Structure 1
Amino acid sequence: MAKSVFQFEAQDAQGAVVRTERLSRDKLLPAIKTIPATVVAMEACATAHYWARQIRDLGHEVRLLPPAYVKPFVQRNKTDARDAHAIAVAATRPDMPRVPVKSVAQQGARGLHTARDLLVGQRTQLINALRGHLAEFGLVGARGDAGAKAVIGFVEAGHPDIPRTLLAALRVLVRHWHEKVEAIAEIEAQIKAEAKADAVAQRLMTIPFVGPMIAHATRAAIGEGQQFDSARDYAAWLGLTPRTSASGQTRRTGRISKAGDQRLRRLYVLGATAALAKAKRHPDDMDPWLAELLKRRPARVAAVALAAKLARTVWAILTTGEAYDATRRRGQAGRLRPAAA
């Protein structure tokens, strides 16, 4: 699939190629309309969910395949025709994982997080540019929000050490920084409102350190979570489980894979980091599991381990339809209770 050109291949029940064609965008759906109801496979890449919904409405069964799992079926050099053939071959494998087709609402919700991440990155670029410029004239600010406000204050006040030839340009950067801050706040307010309006997201937010951002992003990314067979599968999809290399009697585990959804994984790690910071401020209330982990591992490693545990809890709450029980004994996993209780 591309923006304007699509490579099409049809196979019969025995796997023999019966048709191959290069189609333009406006001819794709008309061509598929002429085919009796069948299986249509595509890689789960950009615009795939849109086309999956369109083709599914024509009465076909749509299978979205992870691109990383299709790649081994590509023979020799990459071409569009060989890519299409690889997708067709991979789709016939009974053990081939499939990506659930996202709804319009899901993609819209995902888009909110994508837009927010873009704005956050631009905000960071702007404040770093201001810091770099002002440092050349001996004006520096501390790390964090307080330092950023101090740097912006230098520009807004027209500090005498800033050359007049540069001041106007820096004020443009400051103006854009304020615009990004306001835009981020607007999107975050929308995300929080949608999370509070969703009963499932509300149930997820009963889990400690799972706020509207994590709950909303999780719902947008995996829906009901039924595509995963276990909590560990979900944590592995997020890239929060260690890489494993095993041969014979030798088994080695390494760092986390960092596969899957990077934005969602980052939110879980941030939530776990906040939990860790609170636990350090109140050590008497620290979970024994976490306290023991901190004795053996650095804080950042413990945060990732806690993020993996948090993700497993989220999946359990999401798929069982039950609510998190905050009244639990120290050192035990959170018990589940019926949502109606």
Structure 2
Amino acid sequence: MPPCIVGLEAGSGAHHWARELAKLGHDVRLMPPQFVKPYVKTNKNDAADAGACCEAVQRPGMRFVPTKTIEQQAAMALHRVRDHLISRRTATINALRGHLAEYGVVAQVQRTGLRQLFDLVIDDQDQSLDPTLKPVLRMLVDEIVSMDARISDLDRRVKDAARDSEACRRLVEIPGIGPLIATAVTAAVSDETRFSSGRHFAAWLGLTPRQHSSGGKERLLGISKRGDAYMRRQFVNGARSLVRIADGRSGGLWDWINALLQRRSFNVVTVAVANKLARVAWAIQARGTRWKPA
């Protein structure tokens, strides 16, 4: 088959097949499924999906997804597995607390409270719980401890990856951005030039307002929340850490945050700071510069 344009939906396995087809000389273009769906004219089936891809890939205004390298996918897998383990650990902790609450045992939300519950479950001399319950709860405790160790190992891997990458070392100089955000950005975005500006990158993360305008009257709503929810959450968490400690600090970024806090709520300011962090991160990556505090 002579080289041709191949349109694929950017779903599971798409990046692998895009790389394989590119090796054969084809021009592979990945498209977000939500942008392909409007071109399905009849009921959904394989033939209709193929026709929709063929039609969508030829549209001048179609937006395409860059094909990730194997290294990028491996780096993102590190983040996904870590996020999955954190969710499982939270669910297991809640299960342990819920079972003990049925027996009137309630502890503080902090880690010290959780440690008290651990001590109660593993203490063989304590008779406040039913003897048949303790072995079952020990399974939950063992699972939590095991996941703690795995998450710590993944945290170490993230820090090592950030330390070994020159791009990540430049990003972590930005206040509010640590190894987690830096490695996620470098793994998700291989070519910063595909974004025309920092605002374009922030919009890609879903950190810009939705617009619902008509008749020349502009109406801006809440943030769009499009794009990668994991990366958006990390930027918001980093921004929240800055807003919490902004009071009493001065100069450049801190003056801007404190001025916003005088006019807007904490959460609104947090999202605004996350938007700014995304813009700064894009500028530093695209231009190869370093963070310069005002």
> Deviations 1:295-341 (Å, cap 9, x if unpaired)?
22211121111111101110110101111113x1xxxxxxxxxxxxx
Please point out which of 175, 195, 214 is paired with 2:162: 195
1:303 alignment partner in structure 2: 270
Residue 153, structure 1, aligned to residue 114, structure 2: no
Change (3 A) 1:316 1:137: same
1:72 alignment partner in structure 2: 38
CA distance in 2, matches of 1:85, 1:45: 17
Contact 1:201 1:212 in 2 (8 A): yes
> Deviations 1:111-141 (Å, cap 9, x if unpaired)?
0001001100110011101111111122111
Read off the aligned partner of 1:294 and give its amino acid letter.
L
CA distance in 1, matches of 2:184, 2:277: 14
User: Number of aligned pairs?
Assistant: 292
2:186 alignment partner in structure 1: 219
Contact 1:75 1:82 in 2 (8 A): yes
1:85 alignment partner in structure 2: 51
> Whose strand proportion is higher, 1 or 2?
1
> Deviations 1:277-305 (Å, cap 9, x if unpaired)?
1213x345672221121122211121111
CA distance in 2, matches of 1:202, 1:224: 18
Q: Percent identity?
A: 42
> Deviations 1:87-108 (Å, cap 9, x if unpaired)?
1111111221111100000000
CA distance in 1, matches of 2:88, 2:188: 24
3-state SS in 2 of match to 1:81: helix
CA distance in 2, matches of 1:146, 1:41: 54
1:114 alignment partner in structure 2: 80
Change (3 A) 1:257 1:144: farther
Higher relative contact order (CA 8 A, sep 6+): 2
3-state SS in 2 of match to 1:62: strand
1:233 CA drift (Å) = 1.1
> 223-232 or 80-89: which moved more?
223-232
Residue 229, structure 1, aligned to residue 190, structure 2: no
Contact 1:100 1:227 in 2 (8 A): no
2:97 alignment partner in structure 1: 131
CA distance in 2, matches of 1:238, 1:209: 17
3-state SS in 2 of match to 1:178: helix
Contact 1:232 1:312 in 2 (8 A): yes
Change (3 A) 1:302 1:49: same
Contact 1:224 1:318 in 2 (8 A): no
1:314 alignment partner in structure 2: 281
Contact 1:238 1:262 in 2 (8 A): yes
Contact 1:55 1:62 in 2 (8 A): yes
CA distance in 1, matches of 2:29, 2:48: 18
> 296-305 or 237-246: which moved more?
296-305
3-state SS in 1 of match to 2:219: strand
CA distance in 1, matches of 2:163, 2:103: 47
In the alignment, structure 2 segments of 5+ residues that lack a partner are none
1:26 alignment partner in structure 2: none
In the alignment, structure 1 segments of 5+ residues that lack a partner are 1-34, 329-341
What is the RMSD of the two structures over their aligned residues, measured on CA atoms?
Answer: 1.3
2:70 alignment partner in structure 1: 104
Residue 45, structure 1, aligned to residue 11, structure 2: yes
Q: Which runs of 4+ in 1 moved over 6 A?
A: none
Contact 1:317 1:324 in 2 (8 A): yes
> Deviations 1:184-226 (Å, cap 9, x if unpaired)?
0111111110111000111111111211000001111112322
Residue 165, structure 1, aligned to residue 132, structure 2: yes
CA distance in 1, matches of 2:243, 2:128: 42
3-state SS in 2 of match to 1:160: coil
Read off the aligned partner of 1:221 and give its amino acid letter.
A
Is the radius of gyration larger for structure 1 or structure 2?
1
Contact 1:214 1:267 in 2 (8 A): yes
1:227 CA drift (Å) = 2.1
